[in-house]
Structures are given as C-alpha cells and as structure tokens.
C-alpha cells in the first residue's frame, strides 16, 4: 500500500518533469472552457505543441 503510493508519486513526478502530462493539463483546461469549443485530440495536441515550438524557439542553457 505504502509502496504503491510511492510508486504513484514517482510516476507523477517523472511525468511532470518530462512534460508528459501536458495533454492532461490541456484537457483539464479545455473542459473548463465554453461548451462546444474545439478540443484537440492527443495526436493533434502534440503536433500543435512541436509546431508552436518551431515558431517560438526557446534557448537552452550553456
């Protein structure tokens, strides 16, 4: 029981730091918006994400 909790915590943290939970966060946000608004599918969301990075590059540190 205790171990399962730790494992869940580790999974949550790794997903967060790697950015894997981005779609979940987007869905949570989109569901709270007006009814009938376009919600991207998972595949569309990740494509949109990298396409936006193409248009807005971020530096990495030296």
Partner 1 sequence: MSNTSTSAHTEDPKHPPVAVDPDIIEANDRRWTPLKIAVWVVIALLGGLSWVMLAVVRGETVNAIWFVFAAVCTYFIGYRFYSKYIEKHLLKPDDRRATPAEYKADGKDFAATDRRVLYGHHFAAIAGAGPLVGPVLAAQMGYLPGTIWIIVGVVLAGAVQDYLVMFFSMRRGGRSLGQMARDELGRVGGTAAIVATLTIMVIIVAILALVVVNALAESPWGVFSVSMTIPIALFMGCYLRFFRPGKVTEVSIIGFVLLLAAIIGGGAVADTEWGVALFTIDKVPLAIGIIVYGFIAAILPVWLLLAPRDYLSTFMKIGTILMLALAIVVVRPEIFAPAVSEFASTGAGPVVSGTLFPFLFVTIACGALSGFHALIASGTTPKLIEKERQTRFIGYGGMLMESFVAIMALVAALSIDRGIYFAMNASAAATGGTIEGAVAFVNGLGLSGVNLTPEMLSQTAADVGEETIVSRTGGAPTLAVGLAHIMQQLIGGSGLMAFWYHFAIMFEALFILTAVDAGTRVARFMLQDTIGNVIPKFKNTSWRVGAWIATAIMVAAWGAILLMGVTDPLGGINTLFPLFGIANQLLAAIALAVCMAIIAKRGYFRFLWIVALPLAFAAVVTISASFLKIFSPVPAIGYFAQNAAFRQALADGETSFGTAPTVEAMNAVVRNTLVQGVLSILFVTLAIIVIVTAVLATIRAARRGSNESSEDPFVESRIFAPAGLVATPPEKELQAQWDALPTPPKRGGHG
Residues making contact with partner 1 (CB under 8 A): 13-20, 22-23, 25-30, 32-34, 42-43, 45-62
**What DSSP line would sit under 4-61, residue for residue?**
HHHHHHHHHHHHHHHTTTHHHHHHHHHHTS-TT-----HHHHHHHHHHHHHHS-----
Smallest distance, partner 1 to C-beta of residue 9, A: 10
Write down the least CB distance from residue 8 to partner 1, Å: 14
Q: Tell me whether residue 7 or residue 14 sits nearer to partner 1 (CB atom).
A: 14
CB of 59 to partner 1, least distance (A): 5
């Amino acid at each position: 029981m205790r171990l399962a909790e730790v494992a869940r915590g580790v999974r949550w943290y790794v997903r967060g730091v790697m950015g894997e939970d981005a779609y979940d966060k987007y869905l949570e946000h989109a569901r709270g918006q007006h009814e009938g608004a376009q919600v991207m599918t998972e595949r569309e969301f990740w494509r949109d994400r990298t396409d936006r990075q193409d248009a807005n590059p971020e530096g990495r540190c030296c």
